[in-house]
Structure 1
Amino acid sequence: MCRLFGYVTKSPCAVADLLGEEGLHAFTSLTTVHSDGWGMAWHTPEGTRTESSPRSADLDESYRRLVEVPLSHAGLVHLRWATGGIDVRPENTHPFLSDDAAFAHNGHITPIADLEALLTAESRARLGGDTDSERYFQFVHQSVEQCGDEAEGVSRALAALVKRFPRCSLNALVLTPTHMFAIHINSRADSPLRALRQLFDDEGDIPPRHTTEYFAMDYRETSRGLEVVSSGLGQPGWMPVPADTAVMVDLPPGRSPTWTPSLGSATTRCETAYGRLLSICCTSAARLVRGGARLLRTRW
């Protein structure tokens, strides 16, 4: 279980500049819970780059350095809270990388053996660690390879996982050479209240919204672009991501993505100036094409 931050901007930006001094402090302070490693992924002309460490972000100079650098126009950050029984080591630290796609997860999918059983022998051979998250990623990667299309592959993978693991959180960020996916599917997953209480003597010290909305995700649009973050910042200006949705933003080469209207309207209307905004919703069964954007809804 973890914290996520992702962004797609018009030009390369540093995480510190996007979140601001107070926002970066609030995000990094979530290591009071999520102290089992950190990782980042970002686009470069040569492909998707990642850096990670099993050290706590607030103690790691590499984290402090990277968040201050304008690495890319699209990237993600992950703070890890290791699921009980899974080791804190480099191989288990997000984001995971395969074929230029990076993946970071906030949740816990059990039983892990049932999740791994969905993988082909080729997908299992790519595994480097013990986590359910890496197996989730490889299942998505496998589905994309089988479909030959990222939107369709991600949709099919999520549909299968929701059906098989209905009470697990599938919250994730996926960064590919052409898209950013923000997955917010968790409506039947419970906040880890007991585990949180074990970390704090006073429940009032638990980070904001962790006891009631641990798996919530928020977004905001600024003049720079689009940002999405896990709950816990406790700052104004963010809007809730609709429940049980996944959004795909195109990253067209040489052009800056813009969004009209906001992500919050994606379940009813969707337009983009340069790319598609894909919303995968658990509550309807219609496919719509509007304003040059594709809005996909599937019943799971």
Structure 2
Amino acid sequence: MGYVSQAESSFPAQVGKDFEEFIALSSVHCDGWGISTNDRQHAHAVLEKKVEAAAESATFQKVIADNAADGALLHLRWATKGLSISENNTHPFVYGDYSFIHNGSIFPPDSFSDFIDEKFKKLIVGDTDSERYFYLMMTQIEKLGLAEGIKTTLAIIKEHGKTTSLNFMLMNKESFVVGSEHNSEKKPDWAPADYYVIKYKKDADGVLFASSGWNQPGWHTLENHHAAIVNRSTFEIDVINL
């Protein structure tokens, strides 16, 4: 989940009464939680994360209550089989004023590592595909710019690895980018058909995106194989084909 707003806000304020239903997803996505705040007045993203189920974490409740920023990302982790449950593997991942979260799996996790710039490889502290996904994206954005960098990142991963979903959220001071790129046939057997679907709502206060599985009345759907780029100055949404 992520939002950008006109003024300082919080996840409970942006989501409203259904926020607890989203947090209840941590009964399955129980291997850690993380929040990054990307306030436009600060040079770096601020990160909080714990290896706990959000619904059972007193720290989570305090961070959520105290959170006040005009942009933030929230991730509830369900660890990919074979990857350790640790703080280093818990999302979001941050670099400078960028923060990143991913929903899905890439096999093998390091199948595309050769395409990550050495300066970013040195920053890797965990063993997840997601952290490597982030630093590949940083590599390509620095080379090609935001939109083309993201497209190239996805192309490299799909060529060299096997994926279930590459759904992601990326935020810095200028932009909030949400990518919907997944194969619904590779969802968990028990999951509903819209398991990987990303939805959003926009109002006078800002823009909120989130994954599915909870009550989202009247929200719009971000079409698969597309990314939404939100301009944090104008709050205009540009949807591009991935």
TM over 0.5: same fold?
yes
Report the TM-score, using the length of structure 1 for normalisation: 0.75
Give the superposition deviation at 1:188. Answer: 5.7
The 1-side partners of 2:96 and 2:205 are apart by 28
Any conservation in 2 of the 1:183–1:245 contact (CA below 8 Å)? yes
Q: Render the CA deviation track for 1:21-41: whole Å, top value 9, x for unaligned.
A: 3x1110110011100000011
Structure 1, unpaired ranges of 5+: 197-209, 259-271, 283-300
The 1-side partners of 2:238 and 2:135 are apart by 21
Paired residue for 2:172, among 171, 176, 201? 176
Secondary structure at the aligned position of 2:66 is classed as coil
Q: Which amino acid aligns with 2:129?
A: D
- In structure 1, the residue matched to 2:150 is 154
Distance 1:122 1:70, change over 3 A: closer
Distance 1:179 1:189, change over 3 A: farther
Q: Which amino acid aligns with 2:71?
A: A
Give the superposition deviation at 1:228. Answer: 0.7
Distance 1:190 1:25, change over 3 A: same
The 2-side partners of 1:157 and 1:180 are apart by 17
Give the superposition deviation at 1:70. Answer: 4.9
Indicate the structure (1 or 2) with the bigger Cα radius of gyration. 1
- In structure 1, the residue matched to 2:204 is 223
Report the TM-score, using the length of structure 2 for normalisation: 0.92
Secondary structure at the aligned position of 1:223 is classed as coil
- In structure 1, the residue matched to 2:228 is 247
Give the superposition deviation at 1:165. Answer: 4.2
Distance 1:83 1:39, change over 3 A: same
- In structure 1, the residue matched to 2:106 is 109
Distance 1:57 1:192, change over 3 A: same
Taking only the aligned residue pairs, the percentage that are identical comes to 28
Secondary structure at the aligned position of 1:214 is classed as coil
- In structure 1, the residue matched to 2:65 is 68
- In structure 1, the residue matched to 2:6 is 10
Distance 1:124 1:162, change over 3 A: same
- Greater relative contact order, per chain length (Cα 8 Å cut-off, separation 6+): 2
Secondary structure at the aligned position of 2:107 is classed as coil
> C-alpha root-mean-square deviation of aligned residues, in Å?
1.8
Secondary structure at the aligned position of 1:114 is classed as coil
Is 2:30 the partner of 1:35?
A: yes
Is 2:34 the partner of 1:53?
A: no
Any conservation in 2 of the 1:218–1:229 contact (CA below 8 Å)? yes
The 1-side partners of 2:106 and 2:90 are apart by 16
- In structure 2, the residue matched to 1:26 is 21
Give the superposition deviation at 1:67. Answer: 2.0
Secondary structure at the aligned position of 2:84 is classed as coil
- In structure 2, the residue matched to 1:281 is 241
Aligned length: 240
Give the superposition deviation at 1:236. Answer: 1.5
Give the superposition deviation at 1:249. Answer: 1.2
Any conservation in 1 of the 2:184–2:194 contact (CA below 8 Å)? no
Give the superposition deviation at 1:99. Answer: 2.3
